[in-house]
Amino acid sequence: MRKALLTMATAAVATIGLAAAPAHATASDVNMSFGMSYGASTTSGTIHFTDGYSATVSGAVHAASGARRVCVSGENGSAYDNGDCSNWAYAGGPNQPFTIGLRLTVPGGIQRVYIYMYDEDGTNVAQEHCTRNGCTRDW
């Protein structure tokens, strides 16, 4: 009886261990395109999700009026990387390119990336979030 219980307990632990394998162990590199606009101001680019803990967001922001900047952050459950922001793009000026790296050293690494567009007053005027499966406009 004791041996049977031990065998069942060992099998249960092995099954749970296989089911709970870290997401980064099976994930592969993915490139996800993003893009959003506020009026005629736009941002677009690519998020490179790695098979490890990180993601890199590369793109450009264009200001059709006033000034615009893009900020990005990443998350995995309750773990956050507050990321960084692009330089300001100004109406009549060139597009402002940016590359921002994100990293979380938790199983699965960066799972969701948030992209925020701000105006010159610091108001969040557009936002979307992206996963390895696609992007959704939040507003």
C-alpha distances in Å from residue 133, one per residue of 14, 86, 129: 30, 25, 11
Q: How many other CB atoms are found less than 10 A from the CB of residue 103?
A: 15
Direct distance between the N- and C-terminal alpha carbons of the chain, in angstroms, rounded to an integer: 61
Fold of 23-137: Immunoglobulin-like (2.60.40)
Note the pLDDT of residue 23: 44
Residues 83, 110: contact at Cβ < 8 Å? no
The pLDDT value given to residue 27: 67
pLDDT of 28 reads 86
Collapse the DSSP code of 43 into the 3-class scheme (helix H, G, I; strand E, B; otherwise coil) and give the result.
strand
Per-residue pLDDT of the chain (139 residues; tens, 9 = 90+): 444 433 444 444 333 343 333 444 446 899 999 999 999 999 999 999 999 999 999 999 999 999 999 999 999 999 999 999 999 999 999 999 999 999 999 999 999 999 999 999 999 999 999 999 999 999 8
pLDDT of residue 9: 41
Domain boundaries, given as residue ranges, for the chain: 23-137
